Chains A and B, each alone.
Chain A
């Protein structure tokens, strides 16, 4: 099992450009999440999904959109990138209940110039 994979690993964007980050999991998990990690701030939830076709906002959703067309995939989009979106992005997945472990991907490092 590959677990949670993320594409790409690293990307440089210019301000105003758009891009999509792809997350895939092979554990048949219902729930999927997108976090961003910034120094000294831990991880903050951007958006999450509790099942195919459903998405919801997390703590810092502005400037991002998501889609969950297939159970195993969760896409994070930046329509018009800004320097404040320079960060490391992590995807995670889990079973539905509150005590379940979230399994994280290796991360995507994004630099917006």
Chain B
């Protein structure tokens, strides 16, 4: 069975600082991994996904994530936070049947 753990339900950074959101997964099959972002009162939007082509994945809005099989991790980073990055971020792993298993989410706060 697949599962996802996101460390830290809330993360606060200053504008211009590094953003690091942590995601660890467990999977009985080769994983496909996703990061989604949810802005207030909106649906989820794909940031990036890992589908085994490359371990370093670049997404929208300057975000990237690195797949590390040995650490079963897929952490999300951005070198410099912007106020518009304030949102909730979800990591997810895909099961057979393309069903997604989500982590609990991390709310990112950006301080000016």
A43 vs B89: C-alpha distance when bound (angstroms): 12
Q: Chain A interface: which size bin?
A: 20 to 34
The 8 A CB mask of B72-112 against A (1 = contact, 0 = none) is 00000000000000000010001111111011110000000
Residues of B within 8 A of A (CB): 4, 9, 32, 34, 36, 41-46, 49, 51-52, 90, 94-100, 102-105
Do B99 and A42 have beta carbons less than 8 Å apart?
no
A29-77 contacts to B (CB < 8 Å): 31, 33, 40-45, 48, 50, 56, 58
Give 25 pairs: A residue, B residue, CB < 8 Å, sorted on A: A40-B105, A42-B4, A42-B90, A42-B105, A43-B100, A43-B102, A45-B100, A48-B99, A50-B97, A58-B99, A90-B44, A94-B98, A96-B98, A98-B32, A98-B95, A99-B32, A100-B98, A101-B49, A102-B46, A103-B46, A104-B36, A104-B43, A106-B42, A107-B42, A107-B43
B interface SS class: loop
| A97 at the binding interface (Cβ < 8 Å) | yes
